[in-house]
Amino acid sequence: MFLPLISVLVLLVAGLGGLPPQDPGTGSASATTASDAKVASIVVGSGTVEKALMDRFEAEVRAGLEVLAPVFGGRPKQPFFVFLHEDRDGLPAAIAPHLHEDSPAFALLGQHQIHIVVGEVRRLGSNVRGVVVHELVHELLHQYAEPHGRLIPRWFHEGLAQHLAGDTYLGAREDDLVWRVGTRRLLPFGDLRESFPRDSDRLRVAYAQSYSYVSWLANEFGLEPLLRAARAADRRTSFEAALVGRLDRTSLELEEAWERHLLHGSGAPWRVLLDSCFSLSLLAVLPLLVMALMRRLQAEERAARRLAQLEQQAQAAAAAAAAAAQLDSADADAVPDSDGGPAPPPAI
Ligand SMILES: [Zn+2]
């Protein structure tokens, strides 16, 4: 994620109370590129962050810079800071609202700051390397496009960050776009230039679209013309216009080709279909399950009726036997034994 310039200006006014001083020399750790010049300083932003974790993030930042610096034309000109925060609750009030509920990190463009919340990385099960690379891309792309870094559309920022990190944010999936292509419900990229939607569903779609479109552009044309377009963007030439000039296709042609790829070349429809198969197969067998259940209930009802009949028959047989025994006993009282036997007790 990254914050637009307006947010940065607000932060400049509000200040970053509670954050460490921004002098690079005060960082708790530092990461360097292959050259020895310090580029990124890893510092604790709030709370307590274990030394081992600091070392882990420092190593990831260093590794990320080594991979990304050549992509963006060499080592960054501006040093920047990577603030590590223990948890969301401890974030300084000035920046806390900028952390999305399902995101572990954000970058402040123009401030040369990356903020990573270690507790959220754990809670969300985020890939540490993916998070670091994602936020590094925001910082490096902004510097690469200077002095017009803020003119780069949000969709390109997030798309490139996810593409190079090899990981999406907010669980965004290309599969979620398949139905939207068919029903013409994709979000217009023009609406994703300055900011992303606030509601969770559309936000997730915005990330998925950005990732899918930029990945397709990079795979189809290579990263180089995309980055040249970013560097060419200025107040008179939008990023999109610069892109059209370098790819020799209109924006409409590019988007239509991407949508065709989504439907026919990405494999997403098959994944959606396979995901749905389980549900569909459940629906298909549901009538059979209901019939089996009804047969079972009917069998149990028949068994219960049969049992009741048997009980009635047994009771009737017992009653008949008792009556017969009573009759035999009466006959015996009427005819005493021939040997006289003991006399019956007296009746009183
Ligand atoms: Zn991002």
* Centroid of ligand 1 to alpha carbon of 310 (angstroms): 75
* Centroid of ligand 1 to alpha carbon of 274 (angstroms): 30
What pLDDT, on the 0 to 100 scale, is given for residue 167?
Answer: 86
Average pLDDT over residues 93-119: 94
Q: Which CATH class is domain 1-144?
A: alpha beta
pLDDT band, very low/low/confident/very high, at 323 (cuts 50, 70, 90)? confident
What pLDDT, on the 0 to 100 scale, is given for residue 3?
Answer: 53
How many whole angstroms separate alpha carbon 224 and alpha carbon 76? Answer: 17
203: pLDDT strictly greater than 90: yes
Q: Are 139 and 191 in contact (CB under 8 A)?
A: no
* Centroid of ligand 1 to alpha carbon of 100 (angstroms): 11
User: Mind listing the pLDDT tens digit for each residue in 139-172?
Assistant: 999 999 999 999 999 999 999 999 999 988 887 7
Residue 81 parent element (H or E): strand 80-85
How many whole angstroms separate alpha carbon 77 and alpha carbon 319? Answer: 106
% pLDDT > 70, the chain: 70
Token reading at 257: 């080709």
Q: What are phi and psi of 116, to 5 degrees?
A: -120, 125
Residues of the chain with CATH 3.40.30.160: 1-144
* Centroid of ligand 1 to alpha carbon of 16 (angstroms): 21
What pLDDT, on the 0 to 100 scale, is given for residue 24?
Answer: 35
Report how far Cα 223 is from the mean position of its chain's Cα atoms.
Answer: 27
Ion ligand 1 residue ranges (Cβ < 5 Å):
1, 158, 161
* Centroid of ligand 1 to alpha carbon of 266 (angstroms): 23
pLDDT band, very low/low/confident/very high, at 243 (cuts 50, 70, 90)? very high
Q: What mean pLDDT, rounded, does the chain reach? A: 81
Q: What are phi and psi of 30, to 5 degrees?
A: -145, 155
Average pLDDT over residues 298-316: 68
